[in-house]
Structures are given as C-alpha cells and as structure tokens.
Amino acid sequence: MKEIEELFNFWDELNDKIEKHLAAFEMSDVKKLRMEQSATEDAVYELLRQNAPSEIAKILPERCGEMEIGLNHDEKAFYFIMEDPDTIKDEFIAIVFGVDAKTKIIKNFDIDNY
C-alpha cells in the first residue's frame, strides 16, 4: 500500500528532524514538527481503522491520541501501544500496521524486545 509507505517514510523523516532540533534546543521548531507528526499519526491511524480485521478493529480506541506510536524499521511497520483490554493487569499490547497494510497484535508487548 503506497500511501502507508509514504506516511511511514514521512514520519521517520520528521523523527530525524525532531532529534536534530532537540539537540540544538530549537524548541519552537520541535513543536511545529511534533504537530506535523501528530497529523501523520492520525492519518496512519485512520488507515489502520479502515484496514484492520474485525477482531482488531473492535478493540481500537476511537482516537489515535489514546495510544503511543512508534516505528519498527526492520519490519517497516508502525506500532500502536495500548493497555490490553483482555486483562485486568497492567499489560500492554501493540497493534502493528505494516507498509504492506497487514495488521497483527503482539500480546504482553515489551518495547525492548521489539
């Protein structure tokens, strides 16, 4: 899916720019870039909602802002981290959405292992 791949690359580029501006303490630039990044995250999330299988779609929050988002460069995928709705413990799951538009869930998500 070309659109998701373009968003992946754009979000990644914004991340690199943010790092450079943070290192130079250019906080007004960081704020502008984070706003662009947030809009990109919303666009990715909408694509996820449109393409997710029903078992994943039913657990997705209404808005992207309720989750953390990251990139996995090896898999060329976004991942959305949220509390696992199937447990009462503080466990997390990741909804992974790749540039190929495939979606999967990782239970007991640990950022250090992904």
> Distance between CA 100 and CA 114 in Å, rounded?
18
What six digits make up the tokens of 99? 């540039």
**How many CA atoms within 13 Å lie on the side-chain side of 97?**
29
The predicted structure's pLDDT at residue 66: 74
Whether 67 and 38 have beta carbons less than 8 Å apart is answered as no
Pick out the chain residues at pLDDT < 50: none
Q: Could you report how far apart the first and last alpha carbons of the chain are, in Å?
A: 23
**How many CA atoms within 13 Å lie on the side-chain side of 22?**
9
Look at strands 103-106 and 92-98 and give their pairing. antiparallel
Write down the domain spans for the chain.
Answer: 2-113
The predicted structure's pLDDT at residue 65: 79
Strands (E), 45-112: 68-72, 77-83, 92-98, 103-106
The predicted structure's pLDDT at residue 1: 59
The predicted structure's pLDDT at residue 82: 92
